[in-house]
Amino acid sequence: MVFPPRWRIGVESFAMKIRARFLLFSAILASNLLAQTNPRPTTQQPYEIQISSGVAEKLLIHKVEPDACPHIAMAARVIGTVVVAFEIDENGDVLHPHVVTGPKMLQKAVLDAVRKYKYKPYLLNGKAIEVETTVSVTVDTLRGCPGD
């Protein structure tokens, strides 16, 4: 059977569309089968777990008070709260402390004190892991300063 010229174009384009869809479906199916037979290697990254300051406070074993009278802050009579973020390692030691907010004059004294904190290790499924937390340290240089 011979089709008129305008029908031939329609039939050929229809056949091309069917062929293209079939090839696309075959490619998708093949990629899914390939992914199932050759899974990508997975490398386990350590968890980055953040715990609240309340939980961290309950794990605190040894707390060091900051120098009550940093010399510059004592002269300026600065008081305030310094918030420090840090990590607690598997042994309960403080790693990488840095100030989040607080008066500049008190930051060094508070950082020096926080570096000396000691915590109980945080356990996840019975295994000690590294966690991130924050602590707020209030310094009142007006109390206990010599020369008042």
What token pair was written down for 44? 């386990």
Residue 146 resides in a domain:
no
- Is 79 in contact with 140 (CB distance < 8 Å)? yes
pLDDT tens-digit series, residues 3-26: 555 555 555 666 667 777 777 777
Same domain, 129 and 71: yes
Residue with tokens 């998708």: 28
What token pair was written down for 96? 């990488």
pLDDT for the residue 97: 95
Same domain, 79 and 118: yes
Range of the domain at 1: 1-43
Residue 35 resides in a domain:
yes
Residue 87 resides in a domain:
yes
Residue 23 resides in a domain:
yes
Same domain, 66 and 128: yes
Give me the sheet containing 79-88, strands edge to edge.
49-50, 131-140, 79-88, 94-101
Same domain, 69 and 16: no
Residue 148 resides in a domain:
no
Same domain, 85 and 28: no
Q: What is the DSSP letter of 97?
A: E
Whether 142 shows a pLDDT value over 80: the answer reads: no
Same domain, 108 and 76: yes
Handedness of CA 12, 13, 17, 23 (dihedral sign): positive
Q: Report which of 64, 76, 143, 126 is spatially closest to residue 103, judged by C-alpha positions.
A: 76
Same domain, 79 and 130: yes
pLDDT tens-digit series, residues 36-94: 555 555 555 455 789 988 999 999 999 998 875 656 666 677 788 999 999 999 999 99
Q: How sure is the predictor about 130, in pLDDT bands with cuts at 50, 70 and 90?
A: very high
Question: How many domains does the chain fold into?
Answer: 2
pTM (global) more than 0.85: no
Residue 67 resides in a domain:
yes
Whether 138 shows a pLDDT value over 80: the answer reads: yes
Is 82 or 34 the better-scoring residue by pLDDT?
82
pLDDT for the residue 81: 92
pLDDT for the residue 47: 55
Q: How sure is the predictor about 148, in pLDDT bands with cuts at 50, 70 and 90?
A: very low
pLDDT for the residue 120: 94
Rounded CA-CA distance 3/8 in Å is: 6
Domain CATH code at residue 112 = 3.30.2420.10
